[in-house]
Amino acid sequence: EGKEIFNFSPGPACLPKEVLKQIQDEFLNYKGKGFSIIEMFNRSKEFLELAAEVEKDLRSLINLPDNYAAMWASSGAYLQFSSVPLNIGGGPESTATYVETGHWSMEAAKEARKFLNVSPAWQPSEDRYLYTLPEPEEFNIHKDSKYVYYCDNETVHGVEYHTPIVTEGVPVVCDMTSSFLTKPLNWDRFDVIVSAVQKNLGPAGITSLIVNKKLLGNKRADTPIMCDWETQYNCGGFYNTANVFALYVCGLNLKYLKKFGLEYFDDLAKQRSTLIYDVIDSSNGFYRNQVDLKHRSRLNCQFRLKSKEEDDKFLKTAEEAGFLWLNGHIKYGGCRANMYNAMPIEGAEKLRNFMKQYQDEQE
CB 203 within 8 A of CB 245: yes
Write the binding mask 98 to 127 for ligand PMP: x where contact by CB under 6 A, - elsewhere. Answer: ------x-----------------------
Q: Judge whether 199 counts as a catalytic residue.
A: yes
Q: Which residues of 42-51 are buried (b: 16+ CB within 10 A; e: fewer)?
A: eeeebbeebb
CB of 16 to ligand PMP, least distance (A): 20
The verdict on 78 binding ligand PMP (CB under 6 A) reads yes
The verdict on 299 binding ligand PMP (CB under 6 A) reads no
Q: Which of 272, 327, 276, 335 is nearest to 302 (CA)?
A: 335
The verdict on 175 binding ligand PMP (CB under 6 A) reads yes
The verdict on 196 binding ligand PMP (CB under 6 A) reads yes
Beta strand pairing call for 172-175 and 192-196: parallel
- Give CA angle at 101 (96, 103), nearest 5°: 100
Query: Is the CB of 40 or the CB of 343 nearer to ligand PMP?
Result: 343
> Where does the chain show beta strands of DSSP type E?
6-7, 68-74, 95-98, 117-120, 145-151, 153-154, 159-160, 172-175, 192-196, 206-212, 300-303, 323-324, 335-338
CB of 326 to ligand PMP, least distance (A): 15
Using the rule CB under 6 A, give the single segment among 76-84, 85-93, 140-148, 211-219 that binds ligand PMP: 76-84
Sheet holding 68-74, edge to edge: 68-74, 206-212, 192-196, 172-175, 145-151, 95-98, 117-120
Q: Judge whether 104 counts as a catalytic residue.
A: yes
Query: Is the CB of 152 or the CB of 228 nearer to ligand PMP?
Result: 152
Q: How far apart are CA 18 and CA 3, in angstroms?
A: 19
Q: Judge whether 188 counts as a catalytic residue.
A: no
Q: Choosing from 199, 228, 229, 311, which is the catalytic residue?
A: 199
The verdict on 332 binding ligand PMP (CB under 6 A) reads no
Write the binding mask 2 to 31 for ligand PMP: x where contact by CB under 6 A, - elsewhere. Answer: --------xx--------------------
Positions in 125-164 near ligand PMP (CB under 6 A)? 151, 155
Q: Which of 295, 259, 296 is nearest to 275 (CA)?
A: 296
Q: Is the peptide bond before 65 cis (omega within 30 degrees of 0)?
A: no
Q: Choosing from 57, 72, 104, 183, which is the catalytic residue?
A: 104
CB of 217 to ligand PMP, least distance (A): 26
Strand partners, 145: 95
Query: Is the CB of 266 or the CB of 310 nearer to ligand PMP?
Result: 266
Residue from 77, 86, 247, 326 binding ligand PMP (CB under 6 A): 77
Q: How far apart are CA 334 and CA 289, in angstroms?
A: 10
CB of 83 to ligand PMP, least distance (A): 12
Q: Which of the residues are catalytic?
A: 104, 175, 199
Interface with ligand PMP (CB under 6 A): 10-11, 76-78, 104, 151, 155, 175, 177-178, 196
